[in-house]
Amino acid sequence: MAVVTSTTAPQTTQEPTGPWDNIRLPEDLVPINYVVDLRPDLEPDANGKNWFTGTSEVFMDVNTATNHIYIHSNKLNYSRVEPRGPGVSITTSLAMNGDWWLHSGYQYLIIPLMTDLTPGTRVSLYTEFEGELSDDLGGLYRSKYTDASGNQVTIATTQMQPTDARKAFPCFDEPALKATFDISLWHKPPNFAISNMPVMANESMTGGWVKSTFEQTPKMSTYLLAFVVCDFDWVENTTIGEIQTRIYARPDQVLQGNADYASDITPEILKHFEQYFNVSYPLPKSDQIAVPDFAAGAMENWGLVIYRETALLYNPDINSASNKQRVAAVVAHELAHQWFGNLISPLWWDELWLNEGFASYVEYLGTDHVEPTWRMNDQFIVSDLQRAFGVDGLTTSRPIVAENVNTPDEINALFDTISYSKGACIIRMINEFVGEEAFKLGLKNYLDAFAYGPVNHNQLFEYWEQAQIDVGTAPPPNGFRADMDTWMLQMGFPTVNMKRQSPTSTSVLISQERFLLDATANPLEPTSPYAYKWTIPLWWKTQNDAAKTLDWVELTGTPAPVTVPTTEYFLGNYEAFGYYRVNYDDDNWNKIIQQLLTDFSVIDVRTRGQLLNDAFNLARAGKLNYNIALDLTEFLQYDYDYITWESALDELSYFDLVLGRSKVYGPYSDYLAYLVTNVYNNLTWVDDGEHLEQYQRINAIGAACTYGVPGCVENATQQFTEWYTTGTNSITPNLRTTVYCHTLANSGSEEWDFVWEMYQNESNSQEKAKLQYALTCTQTPWIVRRFLDYVLDETYVRSQDASSILEDLCYNEYARDITWDYIRQEWSNIYNIYGTTFFSFSGIISSCTSHFSTEFELQELQEFKQDNIDQLGSGLRATDQAIESTRTNIQWRAANEESVYTWLTNKMAEINAP
């Protein structure tokens, strides 16, 4: 059949079966180079829609004889589809065997050929197409903002990861199928275009268009491409190696200096990573841009990182210390990806942790380099270690190396706590036992060996194993890869039991068991290749030791003795580098508690924080008496450190969730008020001190206002009222979230409407986020319901923010029932809005069901899953985890509510005794 060059749609109405009935592309064709030309039109048509047109030619080497070309495509309308080749010039059209057609299930453009392609030859596929420049936050899409003059401005931007490059142009949209790209973008002044590489030429075209052509990219994955057409300004800096770094943002944001902090730290972080990895940054520029609408926090596109505004812009006059840290950490995370994810990429999405786990760990190194007083290494345990534990103690978790990744929704679901936080935890644990020298040497050799190519974890582990040999450090007992695969290929994590054979013995028996929050769950289901045993690097320390000791706990069910040369207390997982919990005999727990009450400072702060996390979770799982876990909190009245308090508040928040409407809440809130009073009075409302002291002041004031410390809410309301009545906001940036929230929680519609008006008019994204959170704090039901009507209306709330509003409302005791009813009623609408974006479903479902602890709520949740099984998308795993968590909560209340109530009432009676 003659080549089809001008059809508006394929004629095939039924999709034939064939090898394309698979999420993975075959290895018949390998992309080498793309030439892509895109023209996004920022002027809407008569129906208010924006469109882009484009051409693409992808050059492919033929590996295996095949009579089909198929390539990813989604939501593109084709006017020309022309296979070409073979030959050096590739100008000859290849005859097609019928019409091309689109496979909807796996999003392929399929071109049947009359004859087989010959292995060893090169062919191409030329296409002309059109796509909608919609506001769905995926692929090539539009974003809007209001400029300083009040005019609405439209820009075009991208989010390709993981499977949306195919929405911008037809491509081999898998991470391992790397190629070079020659990109051209059309725009009309005053707009300009930026992409991964520097502009090579600007050419004036008809109709007032300018065509920007960019230098060819290095060999890279499709999901790392980035295109932006905008009218932004920028600030510029350079590294020592003369790499140009620019921060782009809306003109008013640049004028206000909000891009300056990111501009200052970017060259320093890049330089530090070059030195740490001993591998040069491979591109001539490093651009970063903050766009008004973005689904994720940021995206590491090579040479053009795209951010949500809250993750890149910072103004010290109105933004808080936590805003500043978020900018530094996200910039460090995305710049780490320039090596881990961009220079090397995973063979398939099942090894996403090689990207996200590395970036999540290395962000601490980069942030610590530019802000050494922030104690980033201490913060790791509350930000990532404990977060990972919270998910990985469920039977509905998953291994780091994922299984059964068969649909785009299942790929999206991998962008979760396991890939990010657990991945970072395992890398941090490896760094500690291999040592810094071997860790860095292995990474350098691994990056050199696989630059511009795809990788899997086996290759990484081989290089670390060889590095340990090269530097002379002892490897794990059965070899690096064999022992570390126990952490890669099975879900969950262990509890290490360390128990003396008698109170006066120096022999401690060491054993391991899988940690599960649900004590009734079968610990061997689903099955694991290692029967849920791990090779564990156990660091421990006694009261009198100057340094910790490392022993390996191997895959055995037999307790192994370790000699601990003291009858005083001992501590496992000292400094919390291990990805495991530790449990002790009651006598050792009580000795630890006594030491904390006598002098908590002799125990490392990370260890103190992890003791609290371990104790409360072991108690929840039925492995420790709750009296011990609660006794462990008493030292908090003397310890003012952020790490210990953040750990404690995170764990105690479980009581807020499941006991907020029970008789326990009275004595519980009284006890929390008792614990926090010293800290609150010591830190005061004066906003000064080191970084984590500022963080802890926020914790102290928040807890004091929540649990009824006299004068706290009144102080917050007074500061808010001064702003409300004078129009001048003199509330310190660090305390604005707390002041706003507690005021709206204790006031009515007049104050809420004032904050709503401020929210609508605020141009600073971080301040807008604080106002947004405050709006979710109201305790007035009709205000909650009215707010919900606004959430899915983009004239009021940007689509990128709606999910976080729903999540925050669900954590509000007074709003969550109304919000959950609304979500169930509107789920189809929510799914239609967020069906292609990251994170939203899992976050909404987990937050809105986190308090479920009754049989009625369990039934509601199961019915929700049944009713919406086809519209859960990437939230399916979160729904299953919510069902498991609800069952666990029900069992927990039955087993522990009375004993917790008894301890709290007795403790408050003791405290209040004359």
Question: Residue 109's domain is classified under what CATH number?
Answer: 2.60.40.1730
Residue 768: inside a domain: no
Helix (H) or strand (E) holding 391: helix 386-392
Torsion of Cα atoms, 224 then 229 then 232 then 233, to 10°: 70
Mean local confidence (pLDDT), 677-690: 96
Phi then psi dihedrals of residue 306, to 5 deg:
-110, 135
- Per-residue pLDDT, 87: 64
Give the C-alpha separation, 769 to 85, whole Å. 54
Q: How many domains does the chain contain in total? A: 2
Q: How confident is the model at residue 835 (pLDDT cuts 50, 70, 90)?
A: low
If we measure between CA atoms, which residue out of 89, 99, 87, 94 comes closest to residue 116?
94
Q: How many CB atoms lie within 10 A of CB 239?
A: 17
- Per-residue pLDDT, 258: 97
Q: How confident is the model at residue 567 (pLDDT cuts 50, 70, 90)?
A: confident
Question: 573-607: per-residue pLDDT in tens?
Answer: 999 999 999 999 999 999 999 999 999 999 999 99
CATH code of residue 460: 1.10.390.10
Q: Is the pLDDT of residue 866 over 80?
A: yes
Check whether residue 359 and residue 225 sit in a common domain: no
Q: Is the pLDDT of residue 618 over 90?
A: yes
Residue 34: inside a domain: yes
Q: Is the pLDDT of residue 611 over 80?
A: yes
Residue 22: inside a domain: no
* Half-sphere exposure of residue 586: CA atoms within 13 angstroms, side-chain side: 8
- Per-residue pLDDT, 197: 98
Residue 382: inside a domain: yes
Mean local confidence (pLDDT), 753-781: 95
Give the C-alpha separation, 466 to 444, whole Å. 12
Phi then psi dihedrals of residue 69, to 5 deg:
-110, 120
- Per-residue pLDDT, 834: 65
CA distances (Å), 852 to each of 171, 517, 557, 634, 863, in order? 44, 15, 35, 28, 14
Length of the chain equals 914
Mean local confidence (pLDDT), 36-65: 96
If we measure between CA atoms, which residue out of 190, 143, 165, 160 comes closest to residue 56?
165
DSSP state of 285: E
Question: 426-478: per-residue pLDDT in tens?
Answer: 999 999 999 999 999 999 999 999 999 999 999 999 999 999 999 998 889 99
Contact partners, residue 539, CB within 8 Å, separation at least 6: 432, 548, 549, 550, 572, 573, 574, 575, 577, 578
- Per-residue pLDDT, 339: 97
- Per-residue pLDDT, 828: 82
For residue 52, what are the β-bridge partners?
40, 131
- Per-residue pLDDT, 524: 82
pTM: 0.93
Mean local confidence (pLDDT), 845-856: 90
Contact 679/640 with Cβ under 8 angstroms?
yes
Residue 754: inside a domain: no
Give the C-alpha separation, 349 to 356, whole Å. 11
Q: Average model confidence (pLDDT) for the chain?
A: 93
Task: Identify the domain boundary among 198, 231, 264.
Answer: 231
Rg (CA), the chain: 29
If we measure between CA atoms, which residue out of 679, 686, 688, 596 comes closest to residue 633?
596
Residue 295: inside a domain: no
SS (HEC) of 514-545: ECCCCCCCCCCCCCCCCCCCCCEEEEEEECCC
- Annotated catalytic residues are 334
Residue 688: inside a domain: no
Residue with tokens 């990484």: 460
Residue 757 zone, left/alpha/beta (φ > 0; ψ -120 to 50; rest): alpha
Instruction: Give the DSSP letter string of 612-675.
Output: HHHHHHHHHTTSS-HHHHHHGGGGGGT---HHHHHHHHHHHHHHHHHHTTSTTHHHHHHHHHHH
Question: 725-752: per-residue pLDDT in tens?
Answer: 999 999 999 999 999 999 999 999 999 9
Q: Is the pLDDT of residue 793 over 90?
A: no
Contact 355/313 with Cβ under 8 angstroms?
no
* pLDDT > 90: percent of the chain: 80
Q: How confident is the model at residue 3 (pLDDT cuts 50, 70, 90)?
A: very low
Task: Identify the domain boundary among 454, 488, 522.
Answer: 488
Amino acid letter for position 282:
P
Mean local confidence (pLDDT), 492-500: 95
**Structure-model confidence comparison of residues 773 and 16, the more confident one:** 773
**Structure-model confidence comparison of residues 763 and 73, the more confident one:** 73
Mean local confidence (pLDDT), 320-334: 97
Contact 60/30 with Cβ under 8 angstroms?
yes
Residue with tokens 């009284």: 670
Give the C-alpha separation, 13 to 466, whole Å. 56
Instruction: Tell me which residue range forms the domain holding 207.
Output: 1-13+29-231
Phi then psi dihedrals of residue 571, to 5 deg:
-130, 125
Residue 838: inside a domain: no
* The two structure tokens encoding residue 914: 């004359």
Lowest mean pLDDT among 52-56, 75-79, 88-92, 774-778: 88-92
Task: Identify the domain boundary among 435, 464, 488.
Answer: 488
- Per-residue pLDDT, 407: 83
Residue with tokens 């003291």: 566
Give the C-alpha separation, 618 to 492, whole Å. 15
Q: Is the pLDDT of residue 562 over 90?
A: no
